[in-house]
Amino acid sequence: MNIWLILIAFTFHFTRHGISFPLIPLLAENFGAAPSAIGFTVGGFGLIGVFLSIPLGGLIDRVGSKRMILIGVISNIANAAILLHASTVFELIIAQMIAGLAFILIIVGNQALISKISDPGEREKTFGLLSIGASIGLALGPVFGGFLVERFDYRTAFYLVLLFSSMGLLVLGIREPKEVNSLKRSYNLFQDARLAGGLAFNPQVMIILMFTFVVLFAVNLNSSFLPVLLRGEGLKESSIGSLISVFAVTSIGIRLFFSNLLTFTNRKKIIALAMGTIILGVGLIPVMSSTMGFALALSIYGIGFGITQPLSMVMIADLTDASLAGLAMGLRLTVIMAANLLSPVILGFTVDLIGLKSVFYFAAVVVAITAVYILVIRPGLIPARRM
């Protein structure tokens, strides 16, 4: 298995994602969409994943990751082609759905490969590197996209999305371990549903999935109403992209120390740090009125997200047999895609009801309530490290 080739291709995927996701709500607004319609447009990204993440995760366990990742790359290319010609909100929703399918295949495929690394330290390190690659892409992408839209137009930015999507074909050079291929067997959707249900109803897995969902519920503001808020404050697309990149840069910074955090402190404290910084950062955004103020809030916010994703992956891997890695990561991604679907839709209606700035307070309160439940009421369910 060529770890570095996996990481390079993964970084290209998140760079193209970083270019497109801040532009979708702005483009929808340009097409005349109301806040609730913007929410549905952004939420289209999670629609397919809610239903297919678990079946596709089980399929990955049977046929191997490389083929499924390649289908994801081709889906990314199709998404970019649609964005290049989109002129209606409906076309944006179709493009978002295809992007969501690509996201499932690429993310779960890569996570399933890494879950099979037997050494816990190496497995945790590689998950950390994968998250760093994602953060690098999310740091570079919004800057590229914002600059190209401001300097040229949306189509130029989507041409770059197409280029980075095509770079995902590097996955053709990945060699899967022989033991992955030995897992091939007939596909049984009902068996996978039963296994996934068994995992989902494990109380420790429930806590991880709850943690993952509420963090993504708040973080989805970045791809839905944060760009709209920033443009309402008079910022140009390049400035919006740069601010969203600040979020990703701080995620990279904390992920550089992720392995050390796991080694030298317990997971309850790590979860408290992650959720606390997200609550603080999200809560500060609506009170800021300057570029530096927004950058500060997004920096705090980025620390929490930077910890959350690799920690969630590691804890799921710790509780799961390696032969079911694809299914387990598919279950995790189902929750992520549910957050990607429900968060912008719920937040869109919330904006209609209480206003754009108030929606950030609402998201912070949701995270705070969940933090109290996990850290105060049910701390015994936080899983220990798998040796």
Decide if 225 contacts 356 (C-beta within 8 A): yes
* Residue from 52, 327, 329, 335 nearest 196 by CA: 327
pLDDT classification of 186: cutoffs 50, 70, 90: low
Decide if 334 contacts 55 (C-beta within 8 A): no
On average, the pLDDT of the chain sits at 86
Section 58-87 average pLDDT:
88
**Dihedral over Cα of 270, 276, 332, 110: its sign:** negative
Rounded CA-CA distance 301/306 in Å is 9
Q: Which pLDDT score, from 0 to 100, does residue 89 have?
A: 94
Section 309-322 average pLDDT:
78
pLDDT classification of 329: cutoffs 50, 70, 90: confident
Lowest-confidence region among 11-25, 62-76, 88-102, 351-365: 62-76
Structural domains in the chain plus CATH codes: 3-171+189-381 (1.20.1250.20)
pLDDT > 90: what percent of the chain?
Answer: 48
Q: Which pLDDT score, from 0 to 100, does residue 322 have?
A: 63
Report pLDDT digits (tens) over 241-272: 999 999 888 988 887 787 778 777 888 899 99
Lowest-confidence region among 95-104, 110-119, 182-191, 346-355: 182-191
Q: Side chain identity at 318, as an amino acid letter?
A: D
Instruction: Please say if the pLDDT value at position 371 is more than 80.
Output: yes
Instruction: Please say if the pLDDT value at position 183 is more than 50.
Output: no
Report pLDDT digits (tens) over 76-98: 999 999 999 999 999 999 999 99
Q: Which pLDDT score, from 0 to 100, does residue 90 have?
A: 94
Report pLDDT digits (tens) over 190-217: 666 677 777 778 888 889 999 999 999 9
The residue ranking higher by pLDDT, 61 or 41, is 41
Q: Is 277 helix (H, G, I), strand (E, B) or coil?
A: helix
Q: Is 354 helix (H, G, I), strand (E, B) or coil?
A: helix
Q: Which pLDDT score, from 0 to 100, does residue 181 have?
A: 44
pLDDT classification of 135: cutoffs 50, 70, 90: confident
Decide if 307 contacts 184 (C-beta within 8 A): no
Section 48-68 average pLDDT:
76
Q: Which pLDDT score, from 0 to 100, does residue 381 have?
A: 86
Lowest-confidence region among 124-133, 297-306, 318-327: 318-327
pLDDT classification of 323: cutoffs 50, 70, 90: low
Q: Which pLDDT score, from 0 to 100, does residue 180 have?
A: 44
Rounded CA-CA distance 141/298 in Å is 16
Section 180-186 average pLDDT:
47
